[in-house]
Structure 1
Amino acid sequence: MDENYVSIPAADGCPSLVTPWGSEFASLIEHGVQCAQTWLDTPSEIPLWWELAQARKTCPAGDCQDAFEAGFLLRIQQRLRGASA
């Protein structure tokens, strides 16, 4: 595995997940993970799609938004996989 790729830390009983993004996108990916985790941890009526749509607007368009979304969605994926185990 390439050490230059950013990984999402293990969570909810799921192992860490490697992204296709290099270390220059680490802060954006982490921001995505944190936003998803906040949504998961906070009881709210805000739909997941709305949270993602609004949070991604804080990132510059293009690769930066894609990296943010990768972190966000991979964290949600970990929760879903952990729930089905």
Structure 2
Amino acid sequence: MDENYISIPAADGCPSILTPWGSEFAPTIERGVQCAQAWFESNSEVPLWWELAQTRKTFPMGDCQDAFEAGFLLRIQQRLRGVSQ
């Protein structure tokens, strides 16, 4: 595994996922992971797409929004794969 890239930690029985993002985006990717995880753990009626769209807007356009989205969606990917196993 390349140490210059950030990985999404293992979760829900799925291994970690390497991203194409460098360490400068680590906090943004982690925020995406945390946001998705918080949605899973909440009993909120807020739709998942709304959570993604609204939180994504809090980051500067471009790479920061994309890195947040990568963390968010990769965490959801892990959950979906974990459920299907």
- Distance of 1:43 and 1:19 partners within structure 2: 29
Q: Runs of at least 4 residues of structure 1 off by over 4 A?
A: none
The match for 1:23 is 23
What is the deviation of 1:50? 0.3
- Distance of 1:81 and 1:44 partners within structure 2: 23
Aligned residue pairs, count: 85
- Distance of 1:57 and 1:50 partners within structure 2: 11
Query: AA paired with 1:54?
Result: Q
The match for 2:72 is 72
Q: Report the aligned-residue RMSD.
A: 0.5
Q: Percent identity?
A: 80
Pairing of 1:1-85 with structure 2 (within 5 A): 1-85=1-85
Query: AA paired with 1:17?
Result: I
5+ residue gaps in structure 1?
none
The alignment's TM-score, normalised by the length of structure 2, stands at: 0.98
The alignment's TM-score, normalised by the length of structure 1, stands at: 0.98
